[in-house]
A and B are shown apart, each in its own frame.
Chain A
Amino acid sequence: MATSEELSGGQRENTYVIDAESSAEMARLMRQDHLLTQGMGGLFPEGLDLSNTRSILDIACGPGGWVLETAFEHADIDVVGVDISEKMIAYARAQAEVARLENASFRVMNALKPLEFPSESFDLINTRLIVAFMLPDVWPRFVQECLRILRPGGILRFTDLEWGLSNKPAYEKTCDLFNQALQKAGQSFSPNGTHMGLLPMLRRFLSDAHCRDIGQKAHVIDFSYGTEYHKGFYHDLAAAFKLLQPFIARWQIATPEALERLYQQALMEMQSEDFCACWILLTAWGYKPD
């Protein structure tokens, strides 16, 4: 498996799998943020005690959907979002202003590098779906950075994803091609590119960093035809599959023409009444030792 340094002769600046400057991606992520929160049963469905939480950091916040929702529901908590994309952060700031959320703020920051916060700045640090850019050899360093800026007793919380579970071939194939591209790009823990590969690692990251009271909670979001999530996920995946085509093609997993044919087939499958599919998400959390 290639390391991040080997791949291009140096540290890749932005390893996100989709063009983060794309407005279509911005709109997709805003919609997806709501879908995931709803599908998981809330912002903190594992029932974390936030009574002593006064500051939260969301890393790789994208257009800020999770931050804005958290800031709205927890008006007495300051919620900060950081992302590598200036466009996403500008959009997030504009949304916070329009929504009059004074306890939400945003900064441009690269999560692959040391985080630009003083030590012990936050009570809770959150990430969601960072499999889309985080590099395997950066993870230990990233966890240490998170713990540095967490206060003693603070919570480090990761949520990530496995996809591809479906009864339809083009849908399954598209997810499979992406998993392979992720592995070829050196961004996957899956040795054969069969899965995204991050879920089994989350607890290990926390325990290696000596977090205490580590917990895990799995979520299943069923977006089969006829379920309440079908329409939302259809539109999310229709956009995601399209926007992922350049990434998959770049790693020569499939030609653009083959990807487009597969895309049309997947759209058709997702509209059929016997379409069944689900996402598996895992939230893992741990506490920084006092």
Chain B
Amino acid sequence: MEGKNGIPGWHDLLKKFIEDPQQKQRIAREIRVNPITLTRWANNEARPREGNMLQLLRSIPFSYRDQFMQASIVDFPGLQQKLAMTKDDPQEIPPEFYSRVLSACAYTPESLCPQGIYDLILQQAINQLDPERSGLLISIVSAIPPHSGNRIRSLCEITGIGTSPWKRDLERKTIFLGAESLTGAAVMSCRTLTVQSREEQQTLHPAHWADYEQSAVACPIAHRTKMMGGLVVASAHPHYFTDSRISLVEQYANLLALAFLPENFYEVSAFALHIMPEYREQEPYFRNFARRIAAHFADAAAVPHLITFYEAQMLVLQEIEAELLNLPPD
């Protein structure tokens, strides 16, 4: 059904979005309706509730949202107001959250650090950076502690949180990142780097594109000019990172520095990131990852000595990195 003056109506747009069976399944799954219902809506055989329309707006491709919204106004006049789809993205972390983080730093038991603190921050960050759940992935990438006398050769993602298409609680494959990555470049240059689309010229900003990622920003996590790694935020949509969102990512990176101990931070001069092998070459080295972590816990229990998951994880990553970087050159 055409809208006014030959401009596509929302039914037509919906019909277009659900032409692709996979898109149709995804949208139906995300808004929790039967795929047949989407077809009925598109054919004007049934009318969605305003709540369904809000969910549709969140599920359709980001670049079509304005158009879909405009096309929906006649049938759903209250929609725009409810969605509050403004260009005014929040530019600051709410002040009361800072006191909450400081309280967490003061009272979280040692054995639950840094996880208990950075979990709190990441949950706040995902809600503020992606309130519409358009598809965002936030990761903390940590420097792998150097062996004595050596420099930092790689980074590794230690935790992440996401909105669909990513899972909330990420069980991502562990991978070493180096100078070839956006995070690596951000850490080595001590500044925030952004790539707004896969098509963007990448001469200055290297990028390693993972599934669903269409744009990304990487920001160093720093403490007294030393760095422990970076905060990486990736979007399922191109050009997601407005100036205000980039500023917000930087604020969260600064806040995340509180989750880590001073000894987790290194001078910039200590970073000499390698070009790391592709994931398929790295994967075999991670096959016994959990077993190696359990072994460190067992060793600690035998002494006895308390060890946190974070510490055990870092030890294993150090070991694997050393094995990986002793690979013979191609």
Contacts and interface: CB of A to CB of B under 8 A. Distances in A.
Report whether chain A binds chain B: yes
Interface of A: 22-24, 26-28, 30-31, 34-35, 38, 42, 72-77, 90-91, 94-95, 97-100, 102, 225, 228, 230-232, 234-235, 238-239, 242-243, 260-261, 263-265, 267-268, 271-273
Determine which residue in A90, A100, A273 has the highest number of CB atoms from chain B within 10 A of its CB, and name it.
A100
Contacts of B199: none
Nearest to A77: B51
B115 to A, nearest CB: 6
A228 B169 CA distance: 9
B115 A235 contact: yes
Interface in B251-292: 290-291
Interface string B65-104: 0000000000000000010100000100010110011011
Interface in B292-316: 293-294, 297-298, 300-301, 304, 306-307, 309, 312
A114 to B, nearest CB: 30
B214 to A, nearest CB: 22
A76 B49 contact: yes
B189 interface: no
B51 to A, nearest CB: 4
Which secondary structure characterizes the binding site on chain A? helix
Nearest to B129: A98
Interface stretch (B11-19, B119-127, B231-239, B320-328): B119-127
Given A76-B51, A238-B112, A30 B104 contact: no
Given A34-B169, A94-B97, A231-B169, A268 B107 contact: no
Contacts of B117: 23, 27
B131 interface: yes
B27 to A, nearest CB: 14
Contacts, number: 127
Interface in B117-161: 117, 119-120, 123-124, 127-128, 131-133
Q: A-B pairs with the 4 shortest C-beta distances?
A: A23-B104, A268-B297, A76-B51, A75-B51
Contact of A24 (B112, B171, B294, B309): B112
19 contacts: A22-B108, A23-B101, A24-B109, A24-B120, A26-B120, A27-B104, A27-B123, A75-B51, A75-B82, A91-B100, A97-B94, A98-B127, A98-B128, A99-B131, A102-B84, A228-B171, A242-B111, A261-B304, A265-B301
Nearest to B53: A75
Contacts of B169: 31, 34-35, 38, 231-232
Contacts of A230: 171
A22 B127 contact: no
A225 to B, nearest CB: 7
Given A24-B107, A75-B51, A271-B309, 17 more contacts: A22-B108, A23-B116, A30-B119, A30-B120, A31-B119, A31-B169, A42-B32, A74-B51, A76-B50, A97-B94, A98-B90, A98-B124, A102-B84, A238-B112, A243-B109, A264-B304, A268-B294
Nearest to A268: B297
Contacts of A77: 51
Contacts of A234: 309
B198 interface: no
Contact of A95 (B108, B127, B171, B300): B127
